[in-house]
Structure 1
């Protein structure tokens, strides 16, 4: 197990465009992270726009939305158009599109947005993907290479919410089968809550001084999937069993759920890497940036109890 600790970051309460002369664009507007970030921005009265492929005003979203599709360059200009009462967009939360070769598209949009006056980009990546690595790693490297552009890259480990969001396979397996499935064996990992990712994102999006670095975001404890099952069993009052799959079995399970073959192989490989110790590490980055400890899996499971029936 690797433990990395950083000195606590001094709290900066000012926003990077003072007097709220800024509007933040949240891509991935229907995803896990953007909804949590939106609630924090709204509470802080920081102007923002949610970007998603559907901007239907009759949707249930309480936030102002613009239509955006990574695959449709015609939407790039529209998504950067703020309401008349808002300042121009100066900061963007970048959530990668769900495609295999994502870097060229994201880099093209970054270039377009920077020409339109966007000053800061905060990228959602992954704990195992370093600068210069595949996919988001290429975008990370590009952001770091741009002179005059502020940036941060958030690299969270596996989300606790993968067990609780409505259409997640793990949630459905817990609810309907009293099982969780993985190819992680007895490997340990520090699950992190999306709520904690959002708190770090809020700081990197709004702090007056740009962070200009990457943060590996981890939860406070190393646990196995067996321990996840034990915690869920305790919280739910019924036995939840961890089913240990081979990598090939997990690929087949993911493909049967409708996931494209390339994505299924990539995710199954990441799952298997947990058994080899790829996620066996802790740090204090969440507290370093936000001033508060990340939530435990027990706290998460207790608050999400109703979702598993």
Structure 2
């Protein structure tokens, strides 16, 4: 059977990159999406089991990105997972997060399920994405010169989503890789003050870390239309960072891919279009 990988979340930060990594290896990626509009895409909805069979037909592995509009992930993903574990001969690779242990909330429950039921599985637990500075933080950086957080002096080993995708591609194509979890980080743990300094140096304008309390950050999120309960959860993640929850570095990216993880400086250099230098 020719290799063909189903990529859920195919339009997301890592999904697009995983598909690209597979293509460079000559492996077909089937993109699961609610609204397929191109060759290689298939209609898929977690909440619609009628879409699952066609999505899984003839695939040899699956990249799993949990639905972003749900918090009880296992409940909504389980019908698909049950079918995938019996129909897919290769590996199921779940994108989780460094902050979520197996058996914990959200993707942690899915992690535990895969460990108990899947024959070949990998759970990727990356820390915070460097891409956050070119997406949700970008407007405040460019318009206000502020990088808002409630992280205090806490450190984060930010990771390039391209490095996550590279590890995912290895896991999806290397059957010799043992089942298990991998905490993925970049090569340096940085405070938001240090990130603000690096961004300032890159774009030629002053950017500072605008420190908020967890409640102030939650209110800021709520002002963007985020439900208050979820806003509090997000702010709580920053508070955990302030207490040291992300202050660690692993070598998993280099161990699995054979090359070092990207640095923040390298990432910012590649983002000239999104973070332009002041003229």
- In structure 2, the residue matched to 1:282 is 249
- In structure 1, the residue matched to 2:104 is 133
- In structure 1, the residue matched to 2:133 is 163
> Runs (4+) of structure 1 moved beyond 4 Å?
none
Alpha-carbon distance in structure 2 between the residues aligned to 1:280 and 1:256: 29
Alpha-carbon distance in structure 2 between the residues aligned to 1:25 and 1:205: 10
Which stretches in structure 2 are left out of the alignment for 5+ residues?
Answer: none
Alpha-carbon distance in structure 2 between the residues aligned to 1:251 and 1:53: 30
Alpha-carbon distance in structure 1 between the residues aligned to 2:105 and 2:155: 24
Q: How much has 1:175 moved relative to structure 2?
A: 2.1
Match of 2:27 among 31, 46, 64: 46
TM-score with structure 2 setting the length: 0.94
Deviates more, 1:174-183 or 1:255-264: 255-264
Contact 2:61 2:88 in 1 (8 A): no
The yes-or-no answer on 1:212 pairing with 2:179 is yes
CA offsets 1:187-214 (integer angstroms, 9 cap, x no match): 1110000011011101101003243010
The yes-or-no answer on 1:67 pairing with 2:46 is no
Contact 2:47 2:76 in 1 (8 A): yes
- In structure 2, the residue matched to 1:9 is none
SS state at 2:137 partner: helix
Alpha-carbon distance in structure 2 between the residues aligned to 1:27 and 1:117: 14
Q: How much has 1:282 moved relative to structure 2?
A: 1.1
TM-score with structure 1 setting the length: 0.85
The yes-or-no answer on 1:154 pairing with 2:133 is no
Q: How much has 1:109 moved relative to structure 2?
A: 1.2
Contact 1:150 1:210 in 2 (8 A): no
The yes-or-no answer on 1:80 pairing with 2:61 is no
Which stretches in structure 1 are left out of the alignment for 5+ residues?
Answer: 1-19, 58-62, 82-87
Q: Does 1 or 2 have the higher relative contact order (CA < 8 Å, sep 6+)?
A: 1
Q: How much has 1:120 moved relative to structure 2?
A: 1.9
Contact 2:7 2:31 in 1 (8 A): yes
Q: How many correspondences in the alignment?
A: 275
Contact 1:151 1:210 in 2 (8 A): no
- C-alpha RMSD of the superposition: 1.4
CA offsets 1:220-274 (integer angstroms, 9 cap, x no match): 0011000010001001111011111111111111122222333222211111100
